[in-house]
């Protein structure tokens, strides 16, 4: 009736999932293959939006920031390839250094440069990393906490995201997760472990659900001796 207050349905949360374009001679990147499979899906009451990021160290943070501005997400989960790792590794800390072992896709190879000039030495993830690992394992996805995101494009993404959150979007939560090769990629790297795409996609859904449900991480062992 006219004049009566009407309650609006609460807006559905939006989760931005990013993956990275292929690099280092590969034709696939498992992070993007998993992310794009989830674009437009609804998981745990949230809408998922996938965006591809470049493997270009000097541009990738700007592309990520623009994606956040466009999508206006409540949560950001950035995925990246970690060939040689045997499980899904949820990154704990991003460091303010680029020390590229190989050139990026624009042919640049920055060495011992900061991600953000004058920025803090490091940032911790704002995802519930240990709860994510717990739930991934319970869901049949091999997973562990990682204490290094490297010093290449992935760490640049992670640090750039964390710096953006700390300085401009304190209500936003986000972090970075590395994933292994896909089986078809591992055939080019004899002895390298891999994880099927369906398992990765299932794992990302778990990451989303856990990150939305858990705001205070659980306190269980997940460290390393070396």
* Longest CA–CA separation in the chain, Å: 70
- Per-residue pLDDT tens digits for 139-154: 999 999 999 999 999 9
Number of C-beta neighbours around residue 168 at 10 A: 10
Q: Choosing from 33, 55, 78, 91, which is the catalytic residue?
A: 91
Lowest-confidence segment of 69-73, 109-113, 126-130, 220-224 by average pLDDT:
220-224
Q: Choosing from 55, 78, 154, 163, which is the catalytic residue?
A: 154
Is 189 catalytic? The answer is no
Q: Choosing from 33, 55, 163, 178, which is the catalytic residue?
A: 178
User: For the whole model, what pTM was predicted?
Assistant: 0.94
Per-residue pLDDT at 200 exceeds 90: yes
The percent of residues in the chain predicted with pLDDT above 70, rounded, is 96
The pLDDT score that the predictor gives to residue 175 is 98
All residues at 6 or more sequence positions from 85 whose CB lies less than 8 Å from its CB, including other chains: 146, 178, 179, 180, 193
205: nearest Cα among 82, 79, 86, 71: 79
Q: In angstroms, rounded to a whole number, what is the distance separating the alpha carbons of residues 67 and 7?
A: 31
Is 163 catalytic? The answer is no
The percent helix, strand, coil of the chain (3-state, each to 5) is: 30, 25, 45
Is 154 catalytic? The answer is yes
All residues at 6 or more sequence positions from 15 whose CB lies less than 8 Å from its CB, including other chains: 43, 46, 47, 48, 49, 73, 74, 75, 76, 77, 208, 211, 212
- Per-residue pLDDT tens digits for 17-58: 999 999 999 999 999 999 999 999 999 999 999 999 999 999
The pLDDT score that the predictor gives to residue 10 is 73
């Amino acid at each position: 009736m006219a004049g009566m207050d009407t309650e609006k349905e609460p807006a559905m949360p939006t989760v931005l999932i990013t993956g990275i374009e292929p690099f280092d001679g590969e034709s696939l990147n498992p992070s993007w293959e998993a992310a794009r499979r989830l674009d437009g899906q609804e998981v745990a009451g949230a809408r998922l939006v996938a965006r591809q990021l470049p493997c270009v160290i000097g541009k990738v943070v700007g592309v990520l920031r623009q994606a956040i501005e466009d999508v206006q997400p409540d949560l950001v989960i950035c995925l990246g390839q970690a060939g040689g790792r045997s499980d899904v590794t949820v990154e704990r800390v991003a460091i303010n250094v680029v020390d590229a072992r190989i050139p990026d896709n624009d042919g640049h190879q920055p060495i011992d440069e900061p991600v953000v000039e004058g920025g803090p030495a490091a940032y911790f993830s704002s995802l519930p990393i240990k709860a994510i690992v717990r739930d991934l394992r319970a869901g049949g996805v091999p997973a562990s906490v990682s204490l290094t995101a490297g010093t290449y494009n992935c760490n640049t993404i992670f640090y750039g995201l964390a710096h953006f959150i700390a300085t401009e979007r304190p209500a936003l939560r986000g972090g970075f997760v590395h994933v292994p090769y896909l089986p078809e990629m591992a055939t080019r790297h004899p002895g390298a472990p891999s994880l099927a795409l369906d398992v990765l996609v299932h794992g990302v859904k778990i990451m989303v659900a856990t990150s939305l449900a858990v705001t205070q991480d659980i306190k269980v062992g997940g460290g390393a001796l070396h």
